[in-house]
Every structure is written in C-alpha cells, then in structure tokens.
Structure 1
Amino acid sequence: MTQQIVLATASIFGALSIVLGAFGAHALKKKLTSEQLASFETGVKYQMYHGIVLLVLGFNFNPNFSNAVLFFIIGTILFSFSIYGLVLSDAFGKKMKFLGPITPIGGLCLLVGWVLVLLNCLA
C-alpha cells in the first residue's frame, strides 16, 4: 500500500459520498421511504467517515497501518455499497437480498481496521 493509493482512495470515497448524499437527498427523496432514506444516509456517512480516516492516515503515511487501511477500504466498500444496493434495489422492486449478509461483514472489517489502528498505536 502506498501513500498515493491511500490518498486517492480517500479522495474517491469523499467525492462519491458527496455525490451519493446529494443523489439520495434530492433524486431519491420521492422514491424512498423515510426508513430507506435513513439507511442510504447511513451508508453515505460511514463512507465519508472512513474517507476522512483514510485521508488522515494517508497524510501521516506509515506502512505499519497498511492492514488497517486495507480493512477500512474493504469494509467501506462492503458496508456502504451493500446498503446502497439494498436500498435502491428495494425501492425499484427488485430487492437483492444476497446483499443483506454483506453489510455486517463490511461492518466487521471496519471494526477490525479500528482495532488494528489501536494495536499499532500501542506497539
């Protein structure tokens, strides 16, 4: 993992969270129930939070945090994008139920990333 990859991924996550947040708030507002919109917003928030974390780790690049960075990237993709898929597929009448178990796996990856950050800080 290089500093450029970490910073590029952080930038992509940040930019996409702005686009998807605006898309959810405006274009999907009439299509989604309040519960679906809240779920979609959760995906956007977690994507932005972890984009910011990756930005901080990228600017303070240390190869010891590479595994944490990897878990943050994988976790964000699995967690946030499975939520987007579940919400959008449900809203358009073709719910992709197979995405349901992916969300908690993504959350677990995010948790592992945070634990790895803690362990590296304590080492």
Structure 2
Amino acid sequence: MQTLIILGSIMMFLAVALGAFGAHALKRKLSADMIKIYETGVQYHLIHGLGLIIMGLLADRLEQTSLVLLAGWLLFAGIILFSGSLYVLSITGVRKLGAITPLGGVAFLAGWVTLLIAAL
C-alpha cells in the first residue's frame, strides 16, 4: 500500500542521513565500540526500510492485505525500537537502553513471520 511505500521512503532517507551523520560527525567523537553499535543501527534501519517499501509493493498482490500492512507496521516499530535504541545508546553511552533493543528485534522477526503468513 502507498502508506508503507511512503513510510519506507522516509525511513530510507533517515537511514542514509543518520549513516552520513555517523560517518562524518560522530567518527571522531565516539569510541570504536560505540561507532560499531551506531553502524549496526544504521544497517538494520536500511534493511528494514527497504522491507517496508517491498511490503508496500506486495500489499496489493497478496490476498491478505491487512496482514501485509501489519507486517509493515511491525518493521516500522522494529526500526524505532532496535535502531533507535542503538542510536541513543551509542551517543549517550547509557547501556540500560540496550534492554529496549531486543524488543525491536522481536518486532522485526514478527514482521517477517507475518509477511510469510500473508504469502501462504
């Protein structure tokens, strides 16, 4: 659906912008460990932003449109929780934020399983 394509496009824009910010503005300010954490956030952000666009394109082709939409929203939640927590953790150094990251991972997994169910 159009909403997922728009949301995916916005997520991709933000992922590229945040990746560039990390590469240029944060490289000299964060430790190598924190840069690695930040880069992991960007990597998952990019992959799942593309996933949103793909789901938007598939939504009209699969009979279970509502499941595809749910899958997309789960990926979006995963980006916010997983990548967002890694961004904040790497910049602030607050390790307790790492407790949020697995929730985002679960949202990613649930999104992909939901798409699988919609396709079956």
Report the CA distance between 1:96 and its aligned residue. Answer: 6.3
Q: Distance in 2 between matches of 1:89 and 1:25?
A: 17
Q: Is the 8 A contact 1:85 1:96 kept in 2?
A: no
Report the CA distance between 1:10 and its aligned residue. Answer: 0.3
Report the CA distance between 1:60 and its aligned residue. Answer: 2.5
Q: Is the 8 A contact 2:74 2:107 kept in 1?
A: yes
Q: Distance in 1 between matches of 2:2 and 2:116?
A: 23
Q: 1:83 to 1:110 in 2, by over 3 A?
A: same
1:23 corresponding residue in structure 2? 21
Identity %: 42
CA RMSD in angstroms comes to 1.3
Question: Which residues in structure 2 correspond to 1:43-82 (within 5 Å)?
Answer: 43-62=41-60, 63=65, 64-82=67-85
Q: How many residues align?
A: 115
CA deviation vs aligned residue, 1:24-74 (integer Å, no higher than 9, x gap): 011000011111111101100101101111111112324231111111111
Q: Distance in 2 between matches of 1:75 and 1:28?
A: 23
Tell me the amino acid that sits aligned with residue 27 of structure 1.
A
Tell me the amino acid that sits aligned with residue 77 of structure 1.
I
1:84 to 75, 87, 105: 87
Q: Distance in 2 between matches of 1:70 and 1:16?
A: 17
Q: Distance in 2 between matches of 1:84 and 1:8?
A: 23
Q: Distance in 1 between matches of 2:70 and 2:50?
A: 17
Which consecutive residues of structure 2, in runs of 5 or more, have no partner in the other structure?
Answer: none
Tell me the amino acid that sits aligned with residue 108 of structure 2.
L
Tell me the amino acid that sits aligned with residue 80 of structure 1.
S
Report the CA distance between 1:107 and its aligned residue. Answer: 0.4
Q: Distance in 2 between matches of 1:87 and 1:16?
A: 17
Report the CA distance between 1:119 and its aligned residue. Answer: 1.6
Partner-residue secondary structure (3-state), 2:112? helix
